[in-house]
Each structure stands twice: as C-alpha cells, then as structure tokens.
Amino acid sequence: MSAAPLSGLARLLVQHGRLNEADADALQAAAIASKISFIEQLSKSKKLTAAEIAEFSSQTFGFPLLDLAQYDPSYIQAGALDNKLMTSQRIVPLYKRGNTKLFIGISDITNLQAIEEVRFQSGLQVEPIVVEDDKLAVLLDRLIEASGAKLKDLMVDEASLEMNSGQEEAADATNADVDDAPVVKYIQKVLMDAIQEGASDVHFEPYEKFYRIRYRKDGVLREIAQPPLAIKEKIASRIKVISKLDISEKRIPQDGRMKLVLSKNRAIDFRVSTLPTLHGEKICMRILDPSSATLGIDALGYEPDQKEALLNAVHRPYGMVLVTGPTGSGKTVSLYTCLNILNEPGINISTAEDPAEINMAGINQVNVNDKAGLTFASALKAFLRQDPDVIMVGEIRDLETADIAIKAAQTGHMVFSTLHTNDAPGTLTRLMNMGVAPFNIASSVILITAQRLARRLCSCKAPADIPREALLQAGFKEDELDGSWTPYRAVGCDICKGSGYKGRVGIYQVMPISDEMNRIIMQQGNAIDIADQARREGVRDLRASGLWKVRQGMTSLEEVMACTNE
C-alpha cells in the first residue's frame, strides 16, 4: 500500500505501464526525502530518461515538445517571472506574445499549481510547452547566474554565525538606509562581476577624498571602480547586515560570512572582515568556492614524487602533517583536498577553524569563538572525547594548541594543521621556538609541505630570450641548460586582459621527516641543518620547484623569482 498518494505524473506512468507501482512509491518517497522533484528522482534512477519522460508527457497530454538545446536563450522573457518562482516550480518563460499570452517551458505538465502561480504573477494567459528536465535545469542555472538575483533574496543564514537580539533591533532601526535599492544593486553587481572574473578577494576601501573597490585576481590587486564617497556608509552597512554583523559597531574589527546562492547547484561563500580606518570602515570579502576543494590532488600542481610523498603521509594511521605558507597561498585548499581523500563513511573527521572556509559534507566543522571561550585548544580537547580518526586544526598559534595537537598525533590520530613560516625546514624550528620539546616534534611530525601560488602563463605566451648567465643565477644547473626546453614570457591578449597570465599554479616543497632529520631535531639543530639534510635526500626547495614549472612552460622566470627566495 502506498505511503502517500502518487503525484499526477507518477500515477499516469503507472497507469500506462511505464512504471510499476512499487517503484513509483519508492521514487516519490525518495524525492520527498531529498527535497527534489519526482522527475529529477526518476531521471536519477535511470528507469526513464528525461527525454523519455518529456516525450511521454507530450504524447499523453497533447502539449508541444521543445528541445531546449536548440532554443536561443536570447528569446527568454527577462523579468517576466521572478527567480524564486522559476527555481521552486522549475519553469522558464520562453516567449511572450503581445500583452496577453506567455509560453512557458515546464517538465512536469501535471504541476497545475506552477501554471496557476505563473498566471497569477504574470497576469497573462499561460501556454505550457513540455521540455526535458535536465536541459531545463541547465538553462535555469544559466539564467539565474546571469541575472544576478538580488542579494537580499539570495542570502542564506549560516548557523556558524551568532546574532543577538540587539543586533536585530539595530538592523531594523536602520532598515531605510541599508535597503537603499541603488546600493543593493551596486553591491550585487560588484560581487557577481568578481565571481565571473575569478577574483579571490574584493576590497572596499574608504579614503579622505575618494572611495575605491579593488579585486584580487591571480594574486594581484586591481582597481575596478571608484563609487561616490557619499555612499561609503551605506555600502558598509549593507554588507554588514547581509553578513550578520553589528552595524552599530564601527570602532572595532568584525568578522562574518555570507552565502550567495547562484543556482540550485552552485553557491559561493564569502568571508567578510571589517577594519576601522581613519576615513571609515575598510571591508575585505574573501570569495570561497567550495568546488575548489573537490578538484582533486592532481589539479593542485604537485609533481609526481611530491604527490606520492604526500599521499603516503595522508594514508598513515597517525602522525602530523603541516602545511605552511603566507596568507592566500592555498593552504586551506590543500588541507581540504587531503581531508576529501580521507572523507569516507568509516572515518570520523573533525576540524577547528577560524572560521570554517569551505563547507564539506561528512566532516564535523567547528568555528573557533575566542569571546565565548571556544579556542583552538578547547576545541581540540573536545575532539579527543569525540572518538576522532582525523583532526584538522586551522592554525597552530600557541604552545597550548601545539601541545594538544602533538599529543593527539602521538596517540593514534591523524592531525593536519597550518603554520605561517617561509619554508618547510623553518617550520620545525618555529615549533621549537614556541616551546615544543624536540622529542615531541620528532615523534609526531611526519611531513611538512610549504607552498606558494605563482601566476600561470596564458596561452598567448611567447619564448623568452633569457641569457644563460641569468638562468644560472636564478638557480638552474649547468646540465639543465641543455636546450631541450624553452623558457616563456608573458605577452597579453583579450583572454587574459593584457596581463599575460590566467589562473595560478602551485609551487611546493614537500618534505617527509626522515630518521636523520629526527636526529637533527633531537640535537636541537637549526633550520639550515634541516634544509641541508633535506637537499641531500632529494627534497626540492620552493625555488627549485618553481624552476621546474618554468621548464614545463607553466609560468615565467620572473614570476618564480618574485614568489620564492634563493
């Protein structure tokens, strides 16, 4: 017996012998549980394809069938229906005839509620046209991403942020200023452009006589606009409201986050930081694309031997893996790539971050809150009572955090963390300077990765005429200058907007901790001693790894020289 009455389409498929009743019941229940449409669930099950469902609906109800792959999206009636209605009811306004009739594309022709809602919202006579559900989903994603839906409609509350009632009252009191329509649209345009350009950060910066907005793309800041100075307060207030920050507090820095839902299958997180300056609040918004953590280790740019060393360490049952580098060098993506490799039903993974930058299903993520007493150290202590297999600490900042993390690594847990040091050997001496005992370091740390991000040459690159002496001075060896490879330089074209670079590539120093290195640590050797031993063991430093990328034609010598030390 059915747990719930079958929907119109499910019932018709059963009546026409295209689906048995048990399968229809199960698919409908799964669709309700997953909060997706019956057609989506049916397509996923592969019992019927989206094309077969559309053809069945067209023949059964006598409505025309349209292949959206052959449809010109420029005919779409922009503004005819709002984005919420289109995505919730899975419909698209295809064509408007005069002021009387609207043709809509719909995959579930039995969804009479959707047709009624369209008729009510548009005030027009509605003519349904059957379309394939998968093609409809793709078109909807493109439409909503291109339209840049209003931020106030797209914001999603984040449980990681707390907001007291006083803040809500302050937000209501200033609602008239904050919801200024031109400012809302302007911020929306700035953020959508930043996402489409592939920027990593957006800076809103007030000065005495002007206000500017800059994007950081491929590690380089570029000014993109100078809005009127008079709207600086409204911009700051609007961003703070949608980031759940206290808009009445302008004297101290604040940190928050927001989520921008671009489509059903894509959402972008923003980490928001405010800073009081002489002439107003500077706001930096870090763009966090969760998809970057699922690219896989092959997309990060590790050389084969470095990748093998890292994977060997990641799959060890216990120990500590440290990732080092400056802010913006890709440490978080590297850590989450490792966690994603280990993210399986049989493994308990917990992370403590400030704040959690990438949301990943299957991982227990905790936001550090120093004001509430939830520090890295207290979170780590709690993790150890939660039966963990893998622990990730956003950053080791003090001796207490370092001690607990090391003890966890010594007692059968895999621990990942980051430190701000210039290279891998310097990380070990940094831990000693913190006050960690050398024998604790030697018995817990199994691998250290230092990394930088260099700009990747665009396809417009051209061979560079670099003197042999300059190549040798940069760090190339005599036997490497054998003429089998060519260095390239940046040129500039429309694709890279004249910069000569598009995207970035990782430069890594992957240093497994050997027995000999452990002896040096136990004897309280310095970073130079460890670096010499690493070199003897074949570990490439950052400069050598960068030069290897030059040989492969991925980046230019100038870029490697700029982001690494010899």
Q: Give the C-alpha distances (Å, rounded to integers) separating 473 from 176, 478, 492.
A: 62, 11, 27
Of 138-147, 365-374, 379-388, 426-435, which range is least confident?
138-147
**pLDDT at residue 294 in the model:** 62
Pairing, β 445-457 against β 319-324: parallel
How much is the mean pLDDT over the chain?
83
Percentage of residues of the chain with pLDDT beyond 70: 90
Give the SS3 label for residue 216: strand
SS3 content of the chain, % helix, strand, coil (to 5): 45, 25, 35
pLDDT number for residue 163: 31
Predicted pLDDT at 197: 83
Whether residue 110 is predicted with pLDDT greater than 90 in this model: the reply is: no
Span 447-455, mean pLDDT?
Answer: 93
| The pLDDT of residue 59 | 84
The predicted pLDDT at position 167 comes to 38
Q: What SS3 state is found at 316?
A: coil
What is the reported pLDDT for 347?
Answer: 93
Give dist(CA 533, CA 316) in Å, integer: 23
Question: What is the rounded distance in angstroms from the CA atom of residue 352 to the CA atom of residue 364?
Answer: 9
pLDDT digits (tens, 9 = 90+) for 213-228: 999 988 889 898 888 8
Closest CA to 244 of 225, 224, 258, 260: 258
More reliable by pLDDT, 180 or 255: 255
Taking the model in full, what pTM does it have? 0.65
Higher pLDDT, 514 or 293: 514
Q: What is the CA radius of gyration of the chain?
A: 28
Region 414-437 average pLDDT: 91
| Top-confidence range, 85-99, 100-114, 186-200, 508-522 | 508-522
Pairing of strands 390-393, 414-419: parallel
Between 32 and 444, where is the model more confident?
444
What pLDDT was estimated at residue 48?
Answer: 83
Name the pLDDT band for 198 (thresholds 50, 70, 90).
Answer: confident
Q: Using 50, 70 and 90 to split pLDDT, how confident is the model at 509?
A: very high
Q: Which is more confidently placed, 43 or 424? A: 424
Encode burial over 447-471: b for 16+ CB neighbours within 10 A, e otherwise.
bbbbbbbbbbbbebbeeeebeeeeb
Better-predicted residue by pLDDT, 138 or 152: 138
Answer whether residue 480 shows pLDDT above 90.
Answer: no
Return the pLDDT at 175: 46
The predicted model gives 485-498 an average pLDDT of 87
User: Is a pLDDT exceeding 70 seen at residue 410?
Assistant: yes
